[in-house]
A and B are shown apart, each in its own frame.
Chain A
Amino acid sequence: MVKKQIISLCQSEKQEGQRQLYQACAPYVYATIKQYVRETEDIKDTMQEAFANVFKNIKSYDESKGTFNSWIRKIAVNQALMLIRKKKQFSHLVPLDDFKGEVIGTVDNYEKLSREDVDKVLAKVPEGYRIVFTLFVIDGYSHKEISKLLDIKIETSRSQLARAKKWIYLHLFNNEKSKAYGLF
């Protein structure tokens, strides 16, 4: 949790407050952005954009509407999506894998999943799938919100998520039962 004192300092545009806020939130923002953006330079650029927006708009932060972490996370996600829209326009045009890839994960039951297992698989998921999956599953956006964020139809968001899950199941689990789970 970010201390109110730090937020107040930032609201009065004190550089020391901005430094403290960065140090408190940067790991969280980094982790958020990393879920969407892969290249280190892009992550750096997006982080800078995100914090620039945070510092500029911190006066409009309303505590009653949610925690500071969720507010800053929303900014980070929006910034990451903006970069994706600008840089990866053709990713969705690349024909998608037809599930011929090798199994990356070693688990046979999703109850035993670790963060590392999921990270490995997510790093390989085609981008269009990954973004919808991350927005829906990890960041908790609804299909309606995703459709607005990505300017796609709600049905498209749903189908992308379903495909993403199939892909992840097939690549994550090493037994047929778990794989089959994802196909339904």
Chain B
Amino acid sequence: MDSFDKKISDLYNAEQSSNDLPEGFGWDDMNEGIYKKMEEPKRKKKFFWMWFSFAGSLLLLTTLLFFFNFETKNITSTPSNIEDSKAEKTPIHLDKTTIENSLEITKTISETPTKTKERYTISTNQNSHKTSKENIKKTKLAKVPASSIQVKIPESSTEPIKENQQLIKEQTVQESIISTNKTTVLKESLVATKRLAFISIQKDLIPMERRLGPPIVLVPSHVISPNKTNKEDEKLESKNKKKLIGLSSLQLYGGTLLTSGKYSQNPLRNKHSRWLPGYYAGIELTVLNVKKWNINFGYEHKFAVQLFDFQNITDIIETVVEDALVGISTNSINGSQSENRETISTQANRTRNYVNYNTFRAHAFRMTIVRTFNLSKNLSFNPGIGSSYNFLNKANGRTVDSDKNTLNYNPSNSIYRKNNFGIEGGFSLSYQIGKFSLNGNVWMEKSLNYSLESVGEIRPVFYKMGLGVGRRF
């Protein structure tokens, strides 16, 4: 700091405290505005937290669903088990003859101390029982609720069943049951035959004293799906499950970006500005896939260029001239002269002759919900909606004048809003080529006026129109 600087510093710092307030700056004029501004950030922060809370809740929900799904999958993936719902939809109807010929009642005794129950199943005929001993063929078993299996037996036929039950009970209980660990399973060799079928008897067919507890029965899976092998069952089951709920699929994507956005503070700049095409690229995680609805979270980067083309643009600007000479008085007798000076407001023509390029970069967290309509094997139509939080929006400017001189300016002087919320929606037509998808997009993202910042700079509107490409993992 030299002596000139010191002189000015002293001038200002010595006199600042003695300045009076101009009219309109008193407490009564200002307090309302001050308190309003004190409240403003709270409201904005509230909105900000609401958005993230919503996104967080959704993420939490999907995480829980993920683990729930994972647990279910572990259970259902045990060989020979079949979904309850599937069993319910496959009632088995047996006529009297079939039952009489093939009835075998096996009693299962649980070794679990707290769950000692008697359970009943109807098994195959005794001949096949013998056959099964010779041809030890492993047959997998599945649990189905007894209520799902209907056995139609006339009232009159209950007696033979009862007799048969007793007989089988005496003959086979000892050897047909293997209890392992805390659950009870049927000895596979006893129940394996071509026509093997374990089905439950309806409650009214079982003597009252034996109707204990909910009848859970073990049924070979091919009884339920006679035309499918167990492996096929598993595949089908797994496929069905995937269709219902799928999780954690990752996608990289990108495409062409068109942008619009006006600078509200200067209409002339709007008139002579235009956006050049840019691009967007991102990564998104499908956190939940329910039927054909996908909920995605992701990060996205956008790039666009705004061009301000001022080629000999002339406008009028207001300017204030202090001490402007507005009159001179002369005294011809004594030759004296006096000047009349005032501060006047005047207008001036301003001509601008330069081109300014602003490169705009934005980052965003996105959350979208997309529905997939399969139009053909490879073609799908995907409409969706979403919301985003754009942050670190940054512009780099370069001005080139008519003499090709360039001037780069400070990126922090961005004319664009640095952070903003956005809502988006649109659709894309997607053609699948292996794991890649070629997309035709019509998607729009509108920045909300609501922001953590208070003054309205340019809030660009993004149009993801044109071609895009994606790769799913």
Determine the chain A residues whose CB is within 8 A of the CB of B34 once the complex forms.
18, 22, 48, 51-52, 55
Query: CA A111 – CA B1 in complex, angstroms?
Result: 16
Determine the chain A residues whose CB is within 8 A of the CB of B399 once the complex forms.
93
Q: What residue in chain A is nearest B13 (Cβ atoms)?
A: A138
Query: CA A30 – CA B411 in complex, angstroms?
Result: 29
Among candidates A83, A92, A113, A114, residue contacting B410 with C-beta atoms closer than 8 Å: A92
Stretch in B4-12, B49-57, B168-176, B362-370 with 4+ CB within 8 Å of A? B4-12
Stretch in B15-23, B58-66, B427-435 with 4+ CB within 8 Å of A? B15-23
Q: Distance (Å) between the CB of B397 and the closest chain A CB?
A: 7
The answer to whether A110 touches B25, judged by C-beta atoms less than 8 angstroms apart, is no
The answer to whether A30 touches B25, judged by C-beta atoms less than 8 angstroms apart, is yes
Encode A49-80 as 1/0 by CB contact (under 8 A) with B. Answer: 10110011000000000000000000000000
Determine the chain B residues whose CB is within 8 A of the CB of A26 once the complex forms.
21, 25, 27, 30
Query: CA A81 – CA B447 in complex, angstroms?
Result: 25
The answer to the question of A183 belonging to the interface, with a C-beta cut-off of 8 Å to chain B, is no
Encode A110-125 as 1/0 by CB contact (under 8 A) with B. Answer: 1101110010100100
Encode A10-27 as 1/0 by CB contact (under 8 A) with B. Answer: 000000001100110011
| Count, A-B residue pairs, CB within 8 A | 119
Known: A115-B15, A151-B410. A52 touches B38 (CB 8 A): yes
The answer to the question of B265 belonging to the interface, with a C-beta cut-off of 8 Å to chain A, is yes
The answer to whether A44 touches B413, judged by C-beta atoms less than 8 angstroms apart, is no
Determine the chain B residues whose CB is within 8 A of the CB of A48 once the complex forms.
30, 33-34, 36-37
The answer to whether A93 touches B30, judged by C-beta atoms less than 8 angstroms apart, is no
Query: CA A169 – CA B410 in complex, angstroms?
Result: 26
The answer to whether A85 touches B24, judged by C-beta atoms less than 8 angstroms apart, is no
Query: CA A115 – CA B371 in complex, angstroms?
Result: 69
Q: What residue in chain B is nearest A95 (Cβ atoms)?
A: B401
The answer to the question of A180 belonging to the interface, with a C-beta cut-off of 8 Å to chain B, is no
The answer to the question of B414 belonging to the interface, with a C-beta cut-off of 8 Å to chain A, is yes
Q: Distance (Å) between the CB of B422 and the closest chain A CB?
A: 20
Q: What residue in chain A is nearest B42 (Cβ atoms)?
A: A56
The answer to the question of B457 belonging to the interface, with a C-beta cut-off of 8 Å to chain A, is yes
The answer to the question of A87 belonging to the interface, with a C-beta cut-off of 8 Å to chain B, is yes
Q: Distance (Å) between the CB of A166 and the closest chain B CB?
A: 12
The answer to the question of B385 belonging to the interface, with a C-beta cut-off of 8 Å to chain A, is no
Query: CA A107 – CA B4 in complex, angstroms?
Result: 13
The answer to whether A118 touches B413, judged by C-beta atoms less than 8 angstroms apart, is no
The answer to whether A113 touches B11, judged by C-beta atoms less than 8 angstroms apart, is yes
The answer to the question of A47 belonging to the interface, with a C-beta cut-off of 8 Å to chain B, is yes
Q: What residue in chain B is nearest A55 (Cβ atoms)?
A: B38
The answer to whether B413 touches A85, judged by C-beta atoms less than 8 angstroms apart, is yes
Known: A26-B21, A138-B8. A89 touches B415 (CB 8 A): yes
Determine the chain A residues whose CB is within 8 A of the CB of B18 once the complex forms.
27
The answer to whether A115 touches B27, judged by C-beta atoms less than 8 angstroms apart, is no
Q: Distance (Å) between the CB of B217 and the closest chain A CB?
A: 70
Encode B371-415 as 1/0 by CB contact (under 8 A) with A. Answer: 000000000000000000000000001010100000101111111
Query: CA A93 – CA B400 in complex, angstroms?
Result: 10
Q: What residue in chain A is nearest B6 (Cβ atoms)?
A: A137
Determine the chain A residues whose CB is within 8 A of the CB of B410 once the complex forms.
92, 150-152, 156
Query: CA A18 – CA B192 in complex, angstroms?
Result: 90
The answer to whether A47 touches B17, judged by C-beta atoms less than 8 angstroms apart, is no
Q: What residue in chain B is nearest A114 (Cβ atoms)?
A: B11
Q: What residue in chain B is nearest A48 (Cβ atoms)?
A: B33
Determine the chain B residues whose CB is within 8 A of the CB of A56 once the complex forms.
38
Encode A140-178 as 1/0 by CB contact (under 8 A) with B. Answer: 100000000011100010000000010000000000000
Which residues of chain B from 109 to 155 have a CB within 8 Å of any chain A CB? Answer: none
Which residues of chain B from 237 to 290 have a CB within 8 Å of any chain A CB? Answer: 265-266, 269
Query: CA A156 – CA B407 in complex, angstroms?
Result: 13
The answer to the question of A86 belonging to the interface, with a C-beta cut-off of 8 Å to chain B, is yes
Which residues of chain B from 190 to 229 have a CB within 8 Å of any chain A CB? Answer: none
Known: A85-B413, A137-B1. A28 touches B17 (CB 8 A): yes
Which residues of chain B from 74 to 111 have a CB within 8 Å of any chain A CB? Answer: none
The answer to whether B20 touches A27, judged by C-beta atoms less than 8 angstroms apart, is yes
Determine the chain B residues whose CB is within 8 A of the CB of A85 once the complex forms.
412-413
Query: CA A138 – CA B27 in complex, angstroms?
Result: 27
Known: A86-B457, A93-B356, A115-B12. A23 touches B27 (CB 8 A): yes
The answer to whether A92 touches B9, judged by C-beta atoms less than 8 angstroms apart, is no
Q: Distance (Å) between the CB of B262 and the closest chain A CB?
A: 14
Determine the chain B residues whose CB is within 8 A of the CB of A111 once the complex forms.
7
Determine the chain B residues whose CB is within 8 A of the CB of A156 once the complex forms.
410
Q: What residue in chain B is nearest A134 (Cβ atoms)?
A: B12
Q: Distance (Å) between the CB of A163 and the closest chain B CB?
A: 14
- Interchain residue pairs with CB less than 8 A apart (8): A19-B31, A44-B30, A55-B38, A85-B412, A86-B455, A92-B409, A94-B352, A123-B322
Binding site for A on B (CB under 8 A): 1, 3-5, 7-9, 11-13, 15-22, 24-25, 27, 30-31, 33-38, 265-266, 269, 322, 352, 354, 356, 397, 399, 401, 407, 409-415, 453, 455, 457
Complex A-B, nearest 7 residue pairs according to Cβ-Cβ distance, in ascending order: A151-B412, A52-B37, A48-B33, A86-B455, A31-B19, A52-B38, A89-B415
Binding site for B on A (CB under 8 A): 18-19, 22-23, 26-28, 30-32, 35, 40, 44-45, 47-49, 51-52, 55-56, 83, 85-87, 89-90, 92-95, 110-111, 113-115, 118, 120, 123, 136-138, 140, 150-152, 156, 165, 181
* 15 additional contacts (CB under 8 A) given A28-B16, A35-B12: A18-B31, A19-B31, A22-B30, A26-B25, A27-B21, A28-B19, A48-B34, A52-B37, A86-B453, A89-B457, A118-B12, A123-B322, A136-B1, A137-B9, A140-B9
